[in-house]
Homo-oligomer: A and B are copies of this chain.
Amino acid sequence: MTLTTKPLPDLLDVVGIGSPLVDVIARADEGLLERLGLIKGAMTLVDLDRAEAIYASMPSSIEVSGGSAANTVAGVAALGGRAGFIGKIAPDAMGDVFTHDITASGVDFEASVHPRTDGGTGRCLVLVTEDAERTMATHLGVANTFAPGDVGHALLERTKVTYLEGYLFDLPPAKEAMRQAISATHGADGSVAMSLSDSFCVERHKSDFLELLNSDLDLLFANEDEAKTLFGVSTLARALDALEETGVLSVVTRGAQGCVVVTPASRIEVPAVPVANVVDTNGAGDLFAAGFLYGLTNGLDPERSAKMAAVCAAEIISHLGARPQGDLRALAEQAGLFDEQGDGPAG
């Protein structure tokens, strides 16, 4: 991945593009998942009627701003990075909540505001089972109409990295918006990173993702299942070989088993940061990406960036919700990932 040489003052480290969502989180038992017909561990898109039926069956919940790429840029900002976000909301209470939270996190939010007629701001119903696994039913609301016209270039022209959530490829007009965002970013000497989001999402868009990987991406995030699904292989080793062949810097996350960074020159294994009490794995991948992107755009090598990523993922899985509650920067400092003055990451 080639980092930009743009002048510093206006530069952003990371701009995320994704669906703005408010997460509605409740604990649930596996029986409820079965009764609701939801696939454990996966994200299922649902229409408004089904979303309301699921909500009516859910226990007492909490609401926390979410959205995969939005969680990532909120994490970059929490580490002290400069971040932006592009997404589509409605002028309603949940849109206000999303806007408040991402702005209060220090992220520059380029909102495309759409009339409520198309279902309001998106929501993700998150059911957390006792094993801390999360199962999601997302009603995208107005984010469902995300299209090229919703992506301004003001943020993309000044970012070091544009970060795309794979989920967006579920929306045909968003696919075109992503292609244009990639062009705008590369045209302004920025790099493009993407997360594969979910192995079912990879099943749905395998050829698109492979094409992107071979032509447009500078950095790829995937978990083990997603990487295996992408290449249609049954072992991690084969997936890593296939990634290496693409020549794209890739990071494969493996939950409690840490991650593997794949570069054309090497494979680096970095362990996970142990967590005494894993409460909710929602956001683990998003915040892992946050730490890695922050590190890489602030002068850390891939290995130290992966350590930064592991610290962020450990914080997020120790509580309900996919936005940081603890002080990520302080945690990274305690882990020795900032230099002694605390004014920049330690390289």
Contact = CB atoms under 8 A, between A and B. Distances in A.
B60 A74 contact: yes
A238 interface: no
A60 B101 contact: yes
A200 interface: no
A20 B100 CA distance: 22
A97 B63 contact: yes
A94 B96 CA distance: 12
Given A55-B100, A100-B55, A60 B323 contact: yes
Interface in A9-65: 26-27, 55-56, 58-65
Contacts of A27: 325
A268 interface: no
Nearest to A120: B93
A320 interface: yes
Contacts of A64: 62-63
Contacts of A94: 93
B101 A61 contact: yes
A153 to B, nearest CB: 27
Contact of A59 (B60, B92, B104): B104
A105 interface: yes
A28 to B, nearest CB: 11
Contacts of A55: 100
A62 B65 CA distance: 7
A321 interface: yes
Contacts of A102: 60
B93 A60 contact: no
Contacts of A104: 26, 58-61
B74 A65 contact: no
Nearest to A78: B60
Nearest to A326: B27
Given A93-B92, A325-B320, A100 B65 contact: no
A63 B60 contact: no
Nearest to A77: B60
A326 to B, nearest CB: 9
Interface in A65-117: 65, 74, 92-94, 97, 100-102, 104-105
Contacts of A101: 60-61
A60 B326 CA distance: 12
Contacts of A56: 100
Given A55-B100, A92-B93, A62 B105 contact: no
B100 A61 contact: yes
Contacts of A325: 27, 320
A325 to B, nearest CB: 7
Contacts of A58: 100, 104
A60 B97 CA distance: 9
A83 to B, nearest CB: 13
Given A60-B100, A319-B320, 8 more contacts: A26-B104, A27-B325, A59-B105, A61-B97, A62-B62, A63-B97, A92-B93, A319-B319
The list of the 8 closest CB pairs from A to B, nearest first, reads A93-B93, A63-B63, A60-B101, A60-B104, A62-B64, A60-B105, A59-B104, A62-B62
5 contacts: A55-B100, A56-B100, A61-B101, A62-B62, A319-B320
